[in-house]
Amino acid sequence: MYQSLVKPFLFKKDAEEAHHQICNLMKNGLKVPFVKPILRAQYQFDHPKLEREVFGIKFPNPVGMAAGFDKDAKMITELDCLGFGFVEIGTLTPKPQEGNPKPRLFRLPKDKGLINRMGFNNGGVDDAIDRLKKKGNVIVGGNIGKNKVTPNENAIDDYLYSFDKLYDHVDYFVVNVSSPNTPNLRDLQDKEPLTKLLVTLQERRKNYEVRKPILLKIAPDLTNGQLDDIVQIVSEIKLDGLIATNTTISREGLVSTEKEISEIGMGGLSGAPLRARSTEVIRYLADRLQGQVPIIGVGGIHTPEDALEKLQAGASLIQVYSGFIYEGPKFIKKINQYLAEKL
């Protein structure tokens, strides 16, 4: 029904408007008695082969929702009902910000891709806390970034603020310095500022009784030399994990016309066009890290086979976003059923 009725209806609407409408529909639907157990019965799939322990956390299955879908921690219960093994919220910033001007989210149906230049639109980290207190047993990652108005020389203060606010309410952290939609943010991926940022967060973590994993999300556009720097940093400071990859600024190999792409303009590309490069980066990192640092693989997963490819390349867990939009709510169950059979 999703492919024949729901998706065609949603794809006639502005992409961001459609996102909010479907989220509101899900939230209102769960208020109806008995809907929650019905959804769980229809969409969840449990199997011992899917369970895994990564970063010291026990995941019921390896398929998570990537950051960006649930920026403000409003959809945790709903996504859990659809069978996700974990949910990553954010990117959250210290102060609320509207993000970039609309329209800022675009579909490339011919390519099964999305282009976004959202710009870390969110209600601010403080606004998310009350909702996170009600997350129950769902494994939630907190993806944190800096406000657009914060200069890079003060970026650490932004990350520390959100880190402290979220510490008691999320299960792991993701440091986002790889979004292409906040000016100069990717400069923080350079070796010196990145090392300083990560070490500072690790030092701050010592203030807390419970040790929570800190992960770094990287861009797919890094050169091998830059990836080698990442490998050196995470090895030296013993970072808990990596997420590979964020969206790409590349437009190579798209079926969509140059006119269509130029009319959309700037933004990060996700979805099927990112699959090969994301897997390449995962494989490169896994080979050099020799399994010492777990990797969450994300980028272009649109089939169960794509999910397996990421795991075979060296990922311990995977995340989806664009594939969920294009393939529908049964997508997670299909992946988990396939992985239980193949793993």
If pLDDT is split at 50, 70 and 90, which confidence band does 7 have? Answer: very high
Measured CA to CA in angstroms, residue 6 lies from 63, 110, 301, 326 at distances of: 23, 18, 21, 11
From the list 179, 256, 278, 322, the catalytic residue is 179
Question: Mean pLDDT over all residues of the chain?
Answer: 97
CB 94 within 8 A of CB 147: yes
For the stretch 104-126, pLDDT in tens is 999 999 999 999 999 999 999 99
**Residue 301 pLDDT more than 90?**
yes
**Helix or strand run (H / E) with residue 132:** helix 125-132
**Mean pLDDT across 129-158:** 97
CB 122 within 8 A of CB 71: yes
If pLDDT is split at 50, 70 and 90, which confidence band does 1 have? Answer: confident
End-to-end, the C-alpha distance of the chain in Å comes to 29
Active site residue 179: yes
**Mean pLDDT across 229-252:** 97
Chain Cα centroid distance, residue 46: 22
Looking at residue 184, its pLDDT comes to 92
**Mean pLDDT across 73-99:** 98
For the stretch 26-41, pLDDT in tens is 999 999 999 999 999 9
Q: How far apart, in whole angstroms, are the C-alpha atoms of residue 160 and residue 127? A: 17
Looking at residue 92, its pLDDT comes to 98
Q: How far apart, in whole angstroms, are the C-alpha atoms of residue 148 and residue 95? A: 10
For the stretch 250-300, pLDDT in tens is 999 999 999 999 999 999 999 999 999 999 999 999 999 999 999 999 999
- Entry pTM: 0.97
